[in-house]
Structure 1
Amino acid sequence: MTAGHYTDLLWDAVLRGDEYSAVDVVVDALRDGLEPEAVLLEVIGAVQQRVGLEWAANRLSVAQEHAATAINERVISTLSLTSGRHGGERGRVTVACVDGEWHALPARLLAEVLRLRGFTVDYLGAQVPAAHLVTHLHRTGPDAVALSSSIATRLPTAHATITACQAAGVPVIVGGRAFGTDGRYARLLGADAWAPDARTAAETLADGLPDPAHPHAQPMDDLPHLSDQEYTLVTRSAPRLVATVLDRLPERVPAMAGYDDDQRRHTAEDVRHIVDFLSVALYTGDAELFEHFLGWTAEVLEARSVPVAVLRPVLDLLGDELRDFTRASELLRRATTFPALTGGAGTPVPAGAVTEGADSTTLHRTGRPA
């Protein structure tokens, strides 16, 4: 049987929320001769990727997505126990997620692949604070750190973590969607290596990472544009920006006058999310990061039958508040010219449209490309 056959079986089990059938699929795949690494990446990994795509298309709820991820986590545990112990002759690697990063499954898949390939692995899981990670490095002395992040808003934290690990003398390989499909943010933030997938990461680590090139670098050594302080000032003023936009938004979206407390709370979360992505675009100096987020969000809104034009008033109001910030103003100006966001004049905006789709809230739950 091919990996695709078992992928379909696991997808059916996950969709039904049937943990026992999901475990049976993995056990059967191993019994029928499929390599454990292929089960991890071509079956479990493929199903998890489909979960994200189906959620984005509004064919899975948030609850279904979380349930599917939990089942896949337990299936990985079964596979790990079934495939047995493997030696640590290839070195020791610490695998962790950036602080604030809850999407741990990609890191877990990498950890299991590394174990299968003969590494000793310390898997630390989701959202590991940099200080605790460095303490662990001093205690265990690994050959490398593998750092994972899926959400671009965690890039400033990732940068600080990369720098802290390198200062401890441990090289860092990074991966995950946060670092870009081409690894551009890995290079920008001074990581020692980047890998687009678990197999490439394992091969890179097997070859060995060089000692950190700049073990005492500071953020502005990598990102000199931070000297204008726009990232710092926008980040510090984020609560005020959100409050001001919320106060003025009913002028642009009259239906907000009828919002209840929950709708206003969700709208505040939505606006904060936009400010966070604007901030990280200022940090990286990359306008495409903000534009990609808005374009992806527009697709998700459209899948939920929410008029994309609801984004424009928020961007305009942020532009008013940040008119004295050169880079932020340019980012917002470019964003408002996006064809996907211009919409049509007079496009009706239903009550709650900024935060609600056909059957779920949207923007504050769309901030992580799946």
Structure 2
Amino acid sequence: MTRPETDALWEAVIGGDEDAATDIVMAMLDDGKDPEDLLMDVIAPLQARVGHEWAAARITVAQEHSATAVDERVIGAVANHPAVRRRRAAVRRPGRVAVTCIDGEWHALPARLVAEVLRLRGWRVDYLGAQVPIPHLISHLHRTGPDVVALSSSIAVRLPAAHATITACQATGTPVLVGGGAFGPDGRYAALLGADAWAPDARAAADRLAAGPLPRPSSTHRIGDDLPHLADQAYTHVTRNAPRLIRHVLGGLRSRCPEMARHTGEQQDRTAEAVSHLVEFFGAALYLDDPELFTGFTTWTITILAARDVPTQSLMPALDLLAEQVADYPRAVALLSRARAAVRERLPDDDPHRGRDEEAEGPGPANPA
């Protein structure tokens, strides 16, 4: 794809111009562009760029949603191009696969890419889309009997639901292939949660299935058998009390960070949103017993807040306030301690908490900016 084509497609997608975007990719297919290459080397990177632009606050949430919707409709247009349909009809069918997102996962475009690449490879695909409740998915598996389930999740806070979904699918005798950003860039959480295989993208998923069938699950087991650390009840405490924890942190921030009274309404909304996500990722990290998941999120949050012109002075006090509520759970306390150390080293130079070891100094309210 030439640079002018790339620029034109980006402008069409980010501008919400479905017709222009469709015309560009249809012309590429008319000129002989391989449809799988078009999906994976053009549309997938373009969607990734949409996410990067949102993270950098160069586009709004509404623009991100609009661009994603255009990309989804463009993928549908590619799937119905006459040359693509002829190609699918000529390929041997290796089997049937159900492609779905876990319950609570709204980011469906990665799963849609998997579905279309598998269709190009000849698979009969049942694409179920976003946010599929487990009972409905299991009912579908019993009714259709696919050879494999391809399960997509983009955000790590959905991994407890992914674990339940994997286990439920395997209980029907159906192997599970997982993918998406939630499972880590190296798929580190796939094996931990009992998945039968992992793939980093749609092309890799198709290659893995082409290499041979996944083994049928031989037995069922309880979710707790996979993650014995859950016996300490730290995860249960955080998830059951999440609304109260969020209220405690936000209420405490108002007294410990009086400068928040000078924040704009949007800055206060962003802070509240960050605290809510902080508690969600805290719970996910406890579920997986992976401190890196939480430290990665908290340090990423610094970048996100800075891009949106939201002061970061409330982040360290928020972690302190959260620690007060989990003092009876050593694993949770240790996880927060690691996150605080990582955050201190990455705060802006003008943040009063940068490089300061609050634990060594003892408890107390954070200094205002």
The structure-2 alpha-carbon separation of the partners of 1:48 and 1:117, relative to structure 1 and needing over 3 Å to count, comes to: same
Q: Which residues in structure 2 correspond to 1:1-370 (within 5 Å)?
A: 2=1, 6-82=5-81, 83-84=84-85, 86-87=88-89, 89-213=93-217, 215-257=219-261, 267-338=271-342, 339-341=345-347, 344=350, 346=352
CA contact (8 A) 1:169 1:211 kept: no
CA contact (8 A) 1:80 1:112 kept: yes
CA offsets 1:139-194 (integer angstroms, 9 cap, x no match): 00000000000000000000000000000000000000000000000011010000
Matching residue of 1:355: none
- d(CA) in 2 for partners of 1:261, 1:58: 17
Matching residue of 1:359: none
- d(CA) in 2 for partners of 1:187, 1:170: 16
- d(CA) in 1 for partners of 2:280, 2:235: 10
Query: AA paired with 2:28?
Result: A
* Structure 2 counterpart SS, 1:84: helix
Percent identical among aligned pairs is 57
Give the drift of 1:262: 8.0
TM-score (norm 1): 0.88
CA contact (8 A) 1:309 1:343 kept: no
- d(CA) in 2 for partners of 1:116, 1:56: 32
Give the drift of 1:326: 0.5
- d(CA) in 2 for partners of 1:49, 1:222: 32
Query: AA paired with 1:16?
Result: G
- d(CA) in 1 for partners of 2:247, 2:264: 16
Give the drift of 1:228: 1.0
The structure-2 alpha-carbon separation of the partners of 1:145 and 1:342, relative to structure 1 and needing over 3 Å to count, comes to: same
TM-score (norm 2): 0.88
Query: AA paired with 1:195?
Result: A
Query: AA paired with 1:139?
Result: R
Q: What is the aligned residue count?
A: 347
* Structure 2 counterpart SS, 1:147: strand
* Structure 2 counterpart SS, 1:17: coil
- d(CA) in 1 for partners of 2:219, 2:264: 51
The structure-2 alpha-carbon separation of the partners of 1:53 and 1:259, relative to structure 1 and needing over 3 Å to count, comes to: closer
* Structure 2 counterpart SS, 1:340: coil
Give the drift of 1:313: 1.1
Give the drift of 1:226: 0.8
Structure with greater contact order relative to length (CA < 8 Å, sep ≥ 6): 1
Tell me how large the CA RMSD over aligned residues is.
Answer: 2.1
CA offsets 1:74-109 (integer angstroms, 9 cap, x no match): 111111111216246110000000110000000001
Unaligned runs of 5+ in 2: 354-369
Q: Which shifted more, 214-223 or 283-292?
A: 214-223
- d(CA) in 2 for partners of 1:93, 1:190: 19
